[in-house]
Amino acid sequence: MRNFIILFIVGLAVSFSSCRQDFEFKASTGDLFFSRDTVYLDTVFSNIGSSTYTLKVYNKSDKDIKIPTIKLGKPDSKYRMTVDGMTGENNRIFHDVELLAKDSMYIFIEVTADVASANPTDFLYTDQIQFDSGENFQKVELVTLIQDAYFLYPKRFDDGTTETLPIGDDEVYGFYLDENDPINGNEYVWGNDKPYVVYGYAAVPNGKTLNVQPGARVHFHADSGLIIGNGGSLKVNGQVSNTAALENEVIFEGDRLEPGFSDVPGQWLTVWLTDGSTNNEINHLTIKNAVVGLLIDHNDGTTTTIKNTQIYNSSNIGIWAKTAKISGENIVINYAGDAALACTLGGSYDFRHCTFNNNWSSSRQVAVLVDNYYTDPQTNQQVAYDLNQADFKNCIIFGSNQVELLLNKGSDATKQFNYSFSKCQIRFNNTNNQFTNNPLYAFINDTNEIIKNGDPDFFDIANNKLVIGADSDAKNFGVNVGVPNDILGNPRNGVFDLGAYNSIVFPQD
């Protein structure tokens, strides 16, 4: 009897299921809903693929539907899409797409277009995703700004290899700039008529100078950078800007233009002033999102001058100097994985009216590191160099950790370790007394020269706005050190606030 009941129930279930209409899809009636009516794909460079963008399509009805066609409006569209994981015909046309009642699906969209395809008046490239036709026609607009650029990259040879640069005993993916490039013209002058996009290392060889003009925009691809070789020079000729567009500032950053990448560290490598590079001059340069902003390696005894320069969001170090010689004024560095400024292996440094801040979220980062040695991994012995000078005048050295200044002197007493901090504000909370008996930090308690801790009253650290407010402890603490204007070109007029900016009254919230 029990087996009979079980068989009866199973048979009844089968008979009911044979009558269901679960998979009888009705034609779409044009009642689809979309997560947006226009998909704006952020600015891309000509012929460089975009990120992937998402559109969600909803069937809010009680019926399972079949959409006869989903397609891009232009038959030769530069857009590509997938619909719920399907590629369709060349990622452009899809037939009989099924969508269950009260369900949704994703459409993923990308674009690769050249500037010639865009509207010549506004450089917008547009298309539509079209759903069905006739009375049931629906659409979602697609809009992308295409930006033309100069593209700099290694040559590819007939045998399939690509151009490389010798670096010591190794080679890196890179190339020498060309004075007579058939497409770009003179690559030793970077102007402001359109951006530059660099793949690999662009190199300046002996006897050549790279001149970067006011308003130039340079974008480095992942694992790319700029090398100034032995006997080569870099001249960055930025100027004060009059608007928030920074029209005269030179900007070096990555080549991902989407807003989500605007503050992502480590997108490209570095600007490397190698051993032997000469007479480097940098003015009004902003460097963003590198591994190391500026890597300054020995040079040839000439002084590298850095003025009115900002370096933000370096995954390793903002300025990394190794036995270098630097004169810096009105420099601002914020956020770095290890150090905002690292003056290592000795050298000679003079910094005036600089703001070195590091709010990187770790316990090991510092704003400023100064040392004169390294430990040879083969012998485990120190190799020391002379620190001839490391002078900081009217500077702010601050950050989120208790101690933002580290001084490391090697054990070789024959090597010099000369440094001074005059009229500076320094974050230095010796909470564990680890520096109490260290003679290198005896100066830190001289209240005539040092503001220990206090509040710089930065406007907006998270967004790299390190101007100080009217309530800053750094206000009017400095003296005249020969830097008459702040980083924005404002005259100091006999009032010498610490750091790169004159203090201001912040707007009310």
Tell whether the torsion through CA atoms of 398, 399, 403 and 408 is positive or negative: negative
Return the H-helix or E-strand segment holding 150: strand 150-152
Kindly report, residue by residue over 153-181, the tens digit of the pLDDT: 998 888 888 999 988 788 999 999 999 99
Beta bridge partners of residue 295, listed in sequence order: 272, 320
**What does the pLDDT read at residue 19?**
45
3-class SS of residue 418: coil
Residue with token string 């390793």: 316
Arithmetic mean of pLDDT, 56-64: 95
Q: Report the SS3 class of residue 238.
A: coil
Q: Does 12 have pLDDT greater than 50?
A: no
- Assess contact for 399 and 427: CB atoms under 8 A: yes
By CB atoms closer than 10 A (0-12, 13-18, 19+), residue 363 is exposed
State the Cα–Cα distance between residues 7 and 386, nearest whole angstrom: 94
| Per-residue burial over 223-251, b = 16 or more CB atoms within 10 Å of its CB, e = otherwise | ebbbbbbeebbbebbbbbbeeeebebbbb
Are 488 and 475 in contact by the 8 Å Cβ rule? The answer is no
Model confidence at 316: pLDDT above 50: yes
- Can you give the pLDDT at residue 489? 96
Least confident of 2-11, 95-104, 255-264: 2-11
| Residue 13 neighbours by CB distance under 10 Å | 10
Q: In the structure encoding, which two tokens stand for residue 110, read together?
A: 């990308």
Contact (Cβ atoms closer than 8 angstroms) between residue 485 and residue 491: yes
In the block, tokens 């430990």 appear at: 375
Tokens coding 266? 């480590």
For residue 310, is pLDDT > 80? yes
pLDDT of 21 strictly over 80 = no
Q: Does domain 26-147 have CATH number 3.40.50.300?
A: no
Q: Which string of DSSP letters, residue by residue, matches 359-383?
A: --SSSS-EEEEEE-EEE-TTT--EE
DSSP 22: T
Give me the percent of the chain exceeding a pLDDT of 90: 86
How much is the pTM?
0.90
- Please list the residues that pair with 209 across neighbouring strands: 233
Q: Residue 124 contacts by C-beta under 8 Å, 6 or more apart in sequence?
A: 118, 143, 144, 145, 146
**Chain region(s) in the chain for CATH 2.60.40.1510:** 26-147
3-state secondary structure of 7: helix
